[in-house]
Amino acid sequence: MGAKFQKTKYPGVYYRLLARRVDGVQDRAYAIWYKDNEGKPHYKTVGTHFGDGMRPQVANQKRDELLRKLREADKSPADPSPVCTVGMAVEVYERYARAEGMYIDAEMSSYNTHLRETFHHVPIQSVTVDMLSTAKLAMQDAGLAEQTVRHRFSHLRRAINHALETKVYVGVNPLATRRGGAFRLPRPQNARVRFFSPVEAAKLLQALKFRSAQLHAMAELSLRTGMRLTEIFGLYGADVMPQSGVIWVTAKGGKRQPVHADPAVFDLLAPHVRGPQFMVFPSRNGTRKTAAGDTFNRAVNQLGLNDGVQESIHKVTFHTFRHTFASWLAQSGKVTLLELKELLRHESVEMTTRYAHLIPGHQANSLSIVSDLLDHATSPRS
């Protein structure tokens, strides 16, 4: 384990000092020692003092819980196909997501509202296509948008996939995407096409600055880096690293990703970074924000940016800042589609192709081939 580790008063619980300091106090990483059912010794890091709130007594509890599970596993015969309900999978995934720092309150609230009554106590292997289709129809009848319905089922699918990965459930995911499968998730065509002109962006940022310094900083941060609103909500002081020119965000699915930024972005953030352990943009009561709020809508309404607009794909929302970031880069002709994919942190290039038409000459150069051939064939000299 190394000489740097030191004993605590709890048997099998150790700590080592880290280089990081918070308010002058050196952080600690805690580890536990145990033997598995085959008698092999292991050391496992269970968390840090400041980053995870870990304490010696908590580490000791984790060690006791791990030893208890090992004893139970040793006594109990393996069950090749344990019964696992949808609710069990959702609860296991919720604990995992929270332990990994993911924001999952919205997903759990939606599950409890729209899916819990139907699926919570049902074994996963008993979930049928008819049950899923009935639930989908009920949400659509309740007025939920197709994208919202898709998000509800996607959360359920992730929970069951996690149960499969952790062996909590052995079987098949009834929501798995399979060619020829009977159940289909909604595939909404709602990709937004509206993006700001430079004048519109400047006017909206000014209107936001007049109303809220915090909201203005969030909006300009999204415009300058393409960060999603949920990523901005999850920022802590420790994530902002001006010395390396990087901001670390928790992206979709809980993945930690670096966002590169120029000095102007760090100057923008500086007044809002109070310390490594504090949220950069907390709500008034110090908790995590969940929405941009009415202040943003009032600024948009003041400028008339949504006046007369009926379709949602043409409406200005906070996400328009990220869309503008991508659109301006594409229009510049200075980035390729693959470079834009990396900047937006898309999982696949297919997600980035919505901006391909903005790249100068993307279609025009190809179409001119047909025009040139036709003009040559019909010219008097032909």
- Please state the separation of Cα 12 from the chain's center in Å: 36
pLDDT of res. 225: 95
- Of 104, 302, 311, 73, residue with least CA distance to 205: 302
pLDDT of res. 353: 84
Contact (Cβ atoms closer than 8 angstroms) between residue 205 and residue 220 = yes
Helix (H) or strand (E) segment spanning residue 164 = helix 146-165
Q: What is the average pLDDT value for the chain, to the nearest integer? A: 85
pLDDT over 70 at 40, yes or no: yes
Q: Which of 104-118, 137-151, 156-170 is predicted with the least confidence, judged by mean pLDDT?
A: 137-151
Burial class (CB in 10 A: 0-12, 13-18, 19+), 16: middle
β-partners of residue 85 are: 123
pLDDT over 80 at 96, yes or no: yes
End-to-end CA distance of the chain: 84
Q: Could you tell me the two tokens for 164?
A: 């499969």
Q: What is the pLDDT of residues 64-84, one digit of tens each?
A: 999 988 888 776 555 555 689
Burial class (CB in 10 A: 0-12, 13-18, 19+), 66: middle
pLDDT over 70 at 134, yes or no: yes
Contact (Cβ atoms closer than 8 angstroms) between residue 289 and residue 283 = yes
Query: pLDDT-derived band of residue 105, with 50, 70 and 90 as boundaries?
Result: confident
Contact (Cβ atoms closer than 8 angstroms) between residue 10 and residue 34 = no
Give the start-end residues of each E strand in 178-232: none
Helix (H) or strand (E) segment spanning residue 14 = strand 13-22
Q: Which of 19-28, 172-181, 273-282 is predicted with the least confidence, judged by mean pLDDT?
A: 172-181
pLDDT of res. 3: 45
Ranges 40-44, 152-156, 216-220, most confident: 216-220
Distance (Å, rounded) from C-alpha 322 to C-alpha 329? 11
Query: pLDDT-derived band of residue 206, with 50, 70 and 90 as boundaries?
Result: very high
Average pLDDT over residues 129-149: 85
Average pLDDT over residues 29-35: 91
Pair type for strands 6-7 and 13-22: antiparallel
Average pLDDT over residues 95-120: 87
Helix (H) or strand (E) segment spanning residue 199 = helix 198-211
pLDDT over 80 at 35, yes or no: yes
Question: Between helices 319-332 and 337-344, what is the axis angle to 10°?
Answer: 160
